Amino acid sequence: MMLRAAGQVFMALSAVMLALPIVVVSGAALNSGRSMFFPPREPTLARFAEFFLSEPVWVTALMNSVLVAFGSAALAVLIAWPVAYRLWLSDTRASRVLAGLGSMPFALPPIVFGVGLGFLWSFLGGLGEIWSGIVSHAALFLALPLVTISIGLQSIDRAHLDAAATMGATEGMTFRTVILPQTIPYTISGFFFALVLSFNEFIVMFFVSASSYSTVTLQIFNSLRNGYTPTMAVAAITFITVSVIVFSAVARWGDLPRLMGAEPSKS
């Protein structure tokens, strides 16, 4: 019983520690003045209006962030699907190598990949363009939909495929009626994982954007040296809220414990 209580206390303590900087930043967003104080002085919601509506710097940064996040997540899913599908159809050395190469940028220190992409786009003339930012993030986060789609494909009951084949379904029909419906939740989860991480990514974007446009994270980093303003805290709150909503949706409609690698029977 003592140990159980100690466990509860440890969990609570960890949660507090984890939430501490988030709470501080969120509280600071309510300041009415130009500097960050915690607890906030003269709480107001004016900073929210500034961030979403009136300050052009933040509004464009937010637009860029949203554009890059949605574009790159969609592109990552489009590339990841055939790679994962190949790996599932035939677990050959070639398909495994392909999947491995696709996950490489995510596994290695992102600063190296960022430097490399910076070189690549400067040769191809895409440096500082928003499309190259989208493609860069798609490459960086390819591993995420790759993993979730693979998990989804593995969860398909082979008996369903055999049944479809016995009843004379063509491969296209099987794909549309058996494979696709069963993997859609996993595809969507992969899309959202890539989306949220792209939204929050900093270092690769830093090299690829070459200061010619900025996303919200870049904009915040640029303002780091000039001191914080409460508007930056509003950006942080927005991002946390988006993450919580997205992952709650994945947990609600997808199979979050399974995606995270828990035993299927437990979920």
Chain residues 64-93 in contact with another protein, contact rule CB under 8 A: 78-79, 81-83, 85-86, 89-90, 92
What H or E segment, with its residue span, contains residue 196? helix 180-200
Angle between helix axes 2-28 and 230-253 (nearest 10 degrees) is: 130
Find the shortest distance in angstroms from Cβ 56 to another protein: 21
247 makes contact with another protein (CB under 8 A): yes
By CB under 8 A, residue 154 contacts another protein: no
* Residue 5 within binding range of another protein, rule CB under 8 A: no
Our finding on whether 171 is near another protein (CB under 8 A) is: yes
From the list 111, 154, 181, 253, which residue makes contact with another protein (rule: CB under 8 A)?
A: 111
Residue 214 φ/ψ region, left for φ over 0, alpha for ψ in the -120 to 50 degree band, beta for the rest: beta
Q: 28: which residues sit within 8 A by CB, 6+ positions away?
A: 36, 37, 38, 40, 228, 230, 233
* 155: DSSP letter: T
Q: Binding residue for another protein (CB under 8 A) from 68, 73, 134, 139?
A: 139
**Interface pick for another protein out of 5, 56, 168, 226 (rule CB under 8 A):** 168
Q: Which stretch binds another protein (CB under 8 A): 5-13, 47-55, 56-64, 125-133?
A: 5-13
Decide if 178 contacts 160 (C-beta within 8 A).
yes
Select from 20, 13, 38 the least CA-distant residue to 28: 38
User: From the CB of 46, what's the least distance to another protein, in Å?
Assistant: 19
18 binds another protein (CB under 8 A): yes
Residue 165 found at the interface with another protein (CB under 8 A): yes
- Structure token pair of residue 55: 């300050």
251 contributes a contact to another protein by CB under 8 A: yes
Give the shortest CB-131-to-another protein separation in angstroms.
13
Contact string 200-239 vs another protein (x = CB under 8 A): xxxx--xx---------x--xx--x---x---xx-xx--x
Interaction between residue 48 and another protein (CB under 8 A)? no
Q: How far apart are CA 105 and CA 139, in angstroms?
A: 7
- Rounded CA separation 185/251 (Å): 11
